[in-house]
Structure 1
Amino acid sequence: MTKYDERFKRKLVEQCLSGTAGPKSLARTHGLSHSQLRRWVAAYRSHGAAGLRKKFSHYDAEFRYAVLQRLWRDELSYTQVAALFDIRSPGSIGVWERRYHAGGVDALASKPRGGSRKMAAPISPEPAIPVDDAQRSREELLAELEYLRAENDYLKKLDALIQAKKLVAQKKRG
């Protein structure tokens, strides 16, 4: 995704607000989507030049819940609520809403990023107790024989494919 600097955004927003060009034509000439330009205009109207600056913020569960309550109470769109609360990504509000419906207010809390700090101890499989062939049933022995034959056939086929690839590679070189 292309990042635009604050001066560029402000120039386009001011052109749009002054009426010299419409948002669709202005966005088309600069290779933007008109919805992106409309979001910039809405953010500028609500928060001034600060609405166009880069913003790196994390929202707590209370703030997210307040945003959702306002969304539902006033029947606003994600874009409108994002402009009101100066949230740069309206799509994140939809994610919050789905989380809320799935798990309530507790699901709105941020989850820590990354994996666990401690490496889990490897689980070693319990070694199979060797059983003497004389004690095994005929069906068990036949099943093992069938398995070993299939494994042997597979390995032979794999070896043949590898040899064929080597032969083709040699023909291409020479």
Structure 2
Amino acid sequence: MTKYDEQFKQQVVSAYLRGDSGFDALAARHGLHSGMLQRWVAAYRAHGRAGLQSKYSSYDARFKLRVLQHMQRDELSLREVSALYDIRDAGSVARWARLYDEGGINALTPRPRGRPRKMVTSLPPKPTEAGTPDERSREELLKENEYLRAEVAYLKKLDALLAKKQAAQKKKRK
């Protein structure tokens, strides 16, 4: 739910474009910040009614780079370039510029959101047709043997760590 609906935005922008009053007076009359009214007018001039509608989007790294290059090449302000590309928050463009200056194009790629997945242990590949060890090749048997040795070593290490932790807890309780 947006704070100002599209109809209200359209009325205020139309009043400004008719010349009823300036940004500051019109914004004060409707209880708005004049900067917000300026953004609405710029978006309306650039995109029509679609510029006043709610929009939630994510942008890929190439689009972000194109916006930054256009802003640099034509010496546009954050507000001008955000109105031109229909980006609702000029602060996003400022953030992209800072990220690009710090880390280049790789910093503009969207980061994965949410909690990272747990690491899953990979099981050895199951033999497809060979059921008995005699039918498998020597190389397959060596790989399986190596995997099983690593698994046993891992479990021994885990046991040792758990025993050490339990001993520390017992010692701490005393």
Look up the match of 1:79. 79
Aligned-pair CA distance for 1:115 = 1.2
Name the % identity. Answer: 50
Aligned-pair CA distance for 1:50 = 0.3
What letter is aligned with 1:66? R
Look up the match of 1:149. none
In structure 1, distance between residues paired with 2:22 and 2:63: 34
Aligned-pair CA distance for 1:117 = 2.2
After TM superposition, the structure 1 = structure 2 runs for residues 96-135 of structure 1, keeping only pairs within 5 Å, are: 96-118=96-118, 126-127=164-165
User: For the structure 1 residues 124 and 9, does the alpha-carbon distance in structure 2 shift closer, same or farther, using more than 3 Å as the test?
Assistant: farther
Listed as ranges, the gaps of 5+ residues in structure 2 are 121-160, 169-174
Listed as ranges, the gaps of 5+ residues in structure 1 are 131-174
* 1:138-173 C-alpha deviation (Å, 9 max, x unpaired): xxxxxxxxxxxxxxxxxxxxxxxxxxxxxxxxxxxx
What letter is aligned with 2:73? R
What letter is aligned with 1:104? G
Look up the match of 2:6. 6
Structure 1 moving runs of 4+ over 6 Å: none
For 1:45, what is the secondary structure of its paired residue? helix
Look up the match of 2:58. 58
User: For the structure 1 residues 74 and 125, does the alpha-carbon distance in structure 2 shift closer, same or farther, using more than 3 Å as the test?
Assistant: farther
What letter is aligned with 2:43? A
User: For the structure 1 residues 19 and 112, does the alpha-carbon distance in structure 2 shift closer, same or farther, using more than 3 Å as the test?
Assistant: same
User: For the structure 1 residues 100 and 29, does the alpha-carbon distance in structure 2 shift closer, same or farther, using more than 3 Å as the test?
Assistant: same
Aligned-pair CA distance for 1:109 = 0.8
In structure 1, distance between residues paired with 2:92 and 2:105: 16
In structure 1, distance between residues paired with 2:163 and 2:56: 46
For 1:104, what is the secondary structure of its paired residue? helix
User: For the structure 1 residues 125 and 94, does the alpha-carbon distance in structure 2 shift closer, same or farther, using more than 3 Å as the test?
Assistant: farther
Q: Compute the TM-score of the two structures, normalised by the length of structure 1.
A: 0.68
In structure 2, distance between residues paired with 1:42 and 1:7: 17
What letter is aligned with 2:58? H
- Give the superposed CA RMSD: 2.5
Alignment coverage as a number of residue pairs:
129
Q: Compute the TM-score of the two structures, normalised by the length of structure 2.
A: 0.68
What letter is aligned with 1:33? H
In structure 2, distance between residues paired with 1:7 and 1:78: 26
* 1:31-60 C-alpha deviation (Å, 9 max, x unpaired): 110000000000000000000000011100
Matched, 1:18 2:18: yes
